[in-house]
Amino acid sequence: MYWEKELEQLDRRALERLQLQRLQATLAQAAKSRYYAGIADIGRVLRAPFTTIEAISELPFTGKEDLRASFPWGFLAVEQRDVVRLHSSSGTTGNPTVVYHNRHDLASWANLMARSMFAAGVRDTDVFQNICGYGLFTGGLGFQYGAEKLGCLSIPAGAGNSLRQIKLMRDFGTSVVHAIPSYLGRLAEVFAEEGLDPRRATNLHTLIIGAEPHTEEQRRRIEAMFAVKAYNSFGLSEMNGPGVAFECTEQNGLHVWEDAYVVEIIDPVSLCPVADGEIGELVMTTLDRQAMPVVRYRTRDLTRMLPGPCACGRTHRRIDRISGRSDDMFIIKGCNVFPMQIEGVLLKLPEVGDDYRIELTTIDDQDEMVIAVEVKAEWFRGDLAFLDRLQRQITRLIRDELLVRPLIKLVEPGSLPKSEGKAVRVYDRRSK
């Protein structure tokens, strides 16, 4: 059963022909933006089109730093009046990254989401509850419009308030939930606190989990907790959001929708393509976006291409679950964090000393970020009310920056152990 049978089963040669055609159109569209207009290689391909899709490796990469440097409109490839929505990364320091969509882009994204959810077994008879941040997070509106396009009864529950989530699930017979994997342990715990067995207390048959790395063991544990199937959903805002790669009911890797994206895997050091099956960094090019085409985007996510066809009959290739990052970004409670954002906040405060440590840990089944911050000697001797105010101030500033509330511990200057060589600032001790 397919959402778009012909496209999903297109034979590889026809799929590559479609990609080449769409790549050419994408490059022509991209060249309308200030950023890509300045890239000579794109002009060259517009005059002498590629004859194979592998030739895409002759084009330069686009990085997050390019998006930031071109803020706010450098990547815009249509008139501003045609843009109907933007999504943007969080943060109050430095330039955020921003992605714009016109009507065509939003329709195409909703269709990819419907196709993805259908592949994971979701149908129009399902009641779909989206336990995910709305606002600028792409998982909110991304899944919302996909579920509506598919025809589900959708419940835009948003993140937080586990008791209300459970009530919604039980009141309306929710059969499919989308949530981040690390939250589901917490949700199961709240079921238990209410005297309910999460395996029996609802109509749930499918979980869609994504937006953060998780292992096969975590997936199996989550499936057992709720007695359902859980499918992996991968995406990133720069490529729309969710709907980039999704597991089908075979649960053997994530199909990348190759009519909408060109996928490459490169060695993050040499920047050359790795051999099929080897782990490297995922690089992606949009093929069906008008307001903001992105060419050879370095996602920093590490994965590998899985060999062979999938038993489901879809011809779009599969990537393995994400195994890490080639930069220092981490994800907590579904929010992306670059340690530099935290440093940026701390260094602005005259009371803060030379060192800090970020510890990611699990407290009462919930992931938490504990930041130990050294305070300068002249301030550390100050009165307790002052330190209390400082602690609240840092908590608020970091919460505003990251959208996650940290637990701040103020410590004496020099009390944090020094690491040898390059300073290690982040310790991930979350229970997996």
Residues that bind Zn ion (CB under 5 A): 248, 250, 310, 312, 314
Question: Considering beta carbons, is residue 57 or 90 the nearer one to ligand COA?
Answer: 90
What are residue 428's phi and psi, to 5 degrees? -100, 105
Token readout for 57 is 């490796």
Calpha distance 161→428 (Å, rounded): 25
Least separation, in Å, of the C-beta of 301 and ligand AMP? 5
- Tell me the CA distances in angstroms from 302 to 88, 97, 253, 306, one per residue in order: 23, 21, 14, 13
Nearest residue (CB) to ligand COA, 9 versus 90: 90
Q: How far is CA 376 from CA 162, 308, 356, 386, 411, in A?
A: 40, 59, 12, 13, 9
Nearer to Zn ion by Cβ, of 308 and 350: the residue is: 308
Output the CA torsion 88→285→294→23 (10° steps).
-140
For the CB of residue 234, give the shortest distance to ligand AMP in the complex, in Å: 4
Cis ω for the linkage preceding 72 (within 30 of 0): yes
Measure the CA–CA gap between 4 and 262, rounded to whole angstroms. Answer: 19
Q: Which of residues 163-182 bind ligand COA (CB under 6 A)?
A: 179-180
Smallest separation (angstroms) from ligand COA to the CB of 133: 3
Give residues in contact with ligand AMP (CB under 6 A). 138, 210-213, 232-237, 241, 299, 301, 322, 336
Residue 250 binding result from ligand COA, ligand AMP, Zn ion, none, given CB thresholds of 5 to 8 Å by partner type: Zn ion
- Closest CB to ligand COA among residues 353, 406: 406
Closer residue to Zn ion (CB): 117 or 141: 117
Q: Which does 298 bind (CB under 5 to 8 A by kind): Zn ion, ligand AMP, ligand COA, none?
A: none
Give me the 378-407 binding string for ligand COA, x by CB under 6 A, dash otherwise. -------------------------xxx--
Asked if 211 touches ligand COA (CB under 6 A), the answer is: yes
- Which parts of 3-141 are beta strand (E)? 85-88, 98-101, 127-130
Distance CA 19, CA 50 (A): 11
Residues 179 to 208: which contact ligand COA by CB under 6 A? 179-180, 183, 186, 190
The only residue of 15, 56, 131, 397 in contact with ligand COA, by rule CB under 6 A: 131
Q: How far is the CB of 10 from Zn ion (least distance, A)?
A: 14
238: nearest Cα among 28, 67, 31: 67
Shortest distance, position 247 Cβ to Zn ion, whole Å: 8
Residue pair 290/262 in contact (Cβ under 8 Å)? The answer is no
Among 75, 137, 226, 246, binds ligand COA (CB under 6 A): 137
Q: Which of residues 271-300 bind ligand COA (CB under 6 A)?
A: none
Residues, the chain = 432
